[in-house]
Structures are given as structure tokens and as C-alpha cells.
Amino acid sequence: MNYLPIFINITQKPCLVVGGGDIAYRKINLLLKANAQVSCVAQACCNGVTQLAKNNTITVIEKAFEPSDIKSQVLIVSATNDRALNAQVSDLAKNANIPVNVVDSPDLCTFIMPSIVDRSPIVIAISSAGKAPVLARLIRAKLESTIPNAYGKLAELAGSFRAQVKAKFNNIEDRRYFWEKAFSGVVAEKVFSGKTDEAELDLQTQLDKSTDSEMGEVYLVGGGPGDPDLLTFKALRLMQQADVILYDRLVSDEVMELVRRDAELIYVGKERDNHSVPQDGINQLLVDLAKQGRRVCRLKGGDPFIFGRGGEEIETLAENGVPFQVVPGITAASGCSTYSGIPLTHRDYSQSCRFVTGHLKDGTMNLPWDELAVEQQTIVFYMALKSSKHLSEQLQAHGMRGDMPVALVEKGTTPEHKVHTTTLAKLPDLVANETIHAPTLIIVGEVVKLREKLNWFDAES
């Protein structure tokens, strides 16, 4: 971060604005919205600033700025078109340890004015660190259109209940769970509909009926193949409300950036012959954490039900009476092939597609090779990089042509996305001679030829 985002209480605190033009007028109004006591030093003022002075809303001192004008203000804004004057104000403020903002000069600022979405007491600030203010305003416009004005009323309602909720629940996790249910349920909907009195009654009823240390819940969430933009809305919501995140090695760093900041993170990743936590241990850990009243997100790369052992995990949860939800994710076969310009099915080349694991539970690769080695079919091998020589030999031994096109998609959909193309016969040599990192998906079929025409994703190949 270039700047630490903070909110400053300037209610009835002295603030100085240097300059009296239209830009200064906008900054003054922003300070007034935060209930500051504003003084303005300027040789000439626009009509807006003059009117504020006539209404005794601000104090205007019509003169040239002097160093003695900087006294004990809590912050200073310089909004003139005189670069030398702005630099002088900046230096003086910094020497006095007073936060200073110089309009359109990030290098002279110790703080910057962000674009703001105001749903007081909810306030959202968006900043580009001064590099792209127009982009920040566009983001603000998107948020303005999606966040109802009634969020402010919802926050006010929550504030009036805060002491009661704190007294009811000793555990901070229980308090958080109560509020998240309230904010995502009927109470919020009634506030948004203008039925604030009904919402207050419903919130009181929910509080009266709530008990400490209720059973938690487990969310089995598909994190997709790596690109965080491929997450579903539901996945993101549950990731941000979970108390604990159990994640595996296939979850990208970019996706992990989106989990709740204060959630406990537990790594349970697996590599071939190297399991940080055995699967039985993961299953039991999910049960234990939920029975402690915690909300647990089991975050998996791809989709939980496609070679993700999600079925095994929810079997254990069901047997122990633990409530759970499953959120599908974009599986690696779909994400990696799409970002590589390889359609898994095509009327001219492939009328079916098979997803196959290259690493069975017993460590073998005992697959129905006769069913796989057929024309007009796409085969996608998961976790088969180390078994590539074996699958090449078996497919050819069961009748597949040696010149069948093959693609290896390395770290698909991420910034390190890389595609290697070859043929089935040459696959072992490619893997032996190139440095290819897991996770890598192997796609076998005529559709691989379409990559030359359909590759749209700008990535290293």
C-alpha cells in the first residue's frame, strides 16, 4: 500500500484551506460534511466560498498566505494553482507535523482525499494513490449503484443494539455470527424496504432467542483454477464470513487475498507422497472446529466435487450432524482449457469429454484405457504430470495414434499461465526436457489443434 487508509475525526476541529477557487470550495464542503471548523486563506474567493463566509459557515481571511497562518490545525489543504505556494504550504505543514493535502500533487501530500461513497455512518473510501483519480471515481460510481442508501439506517440500527449484543454474547465469534445473520436476513430486507420499526422488533426477537456457542457450519468452497475473477459471488461471501480457512496448495495467492483478514488460516495442502495433513485428519478437523461453534471454509482449488475429495469430507460431516454448504467452482479442466483457447468439445473434432485422474487412491494409474483411446473424444488428465510417460504408452498401446495432439497447461488462468503443445508420442520427451511445474493439466485430443486459431488469453506459451 502506498497509503495507510484511516478515518480522522475532525468534528469541531480547526482545519485550514489555502486557496479560494472552485476546487478549494469542493474541499471545504467535504470538510464541512465531517463537521470541521474551517478557515480559508485566499486573496480572492469564488462565489461559493464567499457565500459560505456570509452565512458564517466558515471563516475567510482575504489576504496572501503567510507562514504564520499555520498554527494548531488538525489538517491543512492547499488548493491553489501556484506550485511554489503549494510546495511552501506542504513544507510548513510537514515541519509542524500537521497532515497536509495538496490538490493534484501527490508528491506534496502526507494524506490524500479519496473518492467517497457516503452511507453515513457507513463511509467507503476509494483511492488510487493519486495515480488514476478518474478510475477511482468510476469505481465509486459502480459502488454507488450497488449499495442502497438504507445501509446507513441499517448501521444506525445495529449501533443501537451493540451494547445488548455484547452483553448477550461473551465470545466475539458468537457476536460476529449474530450480526452476519442479521445483516444478511429479514432484518436487513425490512430496513431496505423502509420498515425500520419492524426490523427493530425482528432484531430484538432474534437476539432474545439466540444462545451462546451454537453449532458452527462448514462451507466447502470451490476456489477455481487460480484467477480470482472466476470465483462465484457465493464463494466470495462465505470466504469473507468464515472464522477459519482450511486451504490446499492449489488455491492461488490471489484467491487467498480475498478471505477474511482476521480469519485463522490452516494449510492442509497435499502433494504426491507428501500430505501436510492426512485426509482423515482434515475430515475430523472440520467436525471439531464446527462443534466449537466456528464457521469453517474448506477452500479448494477448482471444484470440490471434481477430484477434490469433497464427497469424502461431507460424508464425515453428515455422519457427525454438522451442517454444511457446498459451493461449486470452475474446475481446472474448464478454466485451463478456456484460457488456452482449447474448446473441450467441438462438432468437428470431439463429441465427448472425459475427466481422468492420473493418481488413484492406491497410487496406481489403473484406468479403462480401451474406453479412453478412442477418436472424437477429449481426455483431460488431472495430476498426471509424473505419470505422463505411462499414459502416453498406454493410450498408444490401446490404439490411439502417436500424432494425437496434446497440450500441457501449466498454472492455468494465473499470471504464470503457460501452454506446451506436442503429440502423444513426443509427450514423454517434452516432460523430460522441459521444466514444467505443477499444477499442470494434460489435454489429449484433436481439439488441441484449435489453439492456434482460438488462443485469446495473452499469456506465455
How far, in Å, are 212, 304, 342, 390, 446 from residue 378 at the CA level? 53, 22, 10, 18, 7
In a domain, 176, yes or no: yes
Output the pLDDT for position 459: 46
Catalytic site residue from 195, 270, 426, 449: 270
Q: Is residue 118 part of a domain?
A: no
Is residue 270 part of the annotated active site? The answer reads yes
**CATH classification of the domain holding 294:** 3.40.1010.10
Q: Which of 174, 202, 227, 248 is catalytic?
A: 248
**pLDDT value, residue 180:** 86
Q: For 127, left (φ over 0), alpha (ψ -120 to 50), or beta?
A: beta
| Burial 80-97, CB ≥16 within 10 A → b, else e | beeeebbebbbebbeeee
**Sheet containing 324-327: order of strands:** 264-267, 244-247, 295-300, 217-222, 324-327
pLDDT digits (tens, 9 = 90+) for 94-132: 999 999 999 989 899 999 989 999 999 999 999 998 888
* Residue 4 placed within a domain: no
Q: How far apart are CA 357 and CA 343, in angstroms?
A: 20
Q: Tell me: do 227 and 311 sit in the same domain.
A: yes
* Domains held by the chain: number: 4
Please indicate, yes or no, whether residues 353 and 308 belong to a single structural domain of this protein: no
Low-confidence stretches of the chain (pLDDT beneath 50): 459-461
| DSSP tag of 330 | -
Domain ranges, residue 87: 14-113
Task: Tell me if residue 248 is catalytic.
Answer: yes
β partners of residue 300: 222
CA gap 443, 43 in Å, rounded:
72
**Average per-residue pLDDT for the chain:** 92
In a domain, 132, yes or no: no
pTM: 0.68
Among 304, 330, 356, the domain boundary falls at 330
Position 426: which residue type? K
Q: Based on the fold, state whether residues 24 and 104 are members of the same structural domain.
A: yes
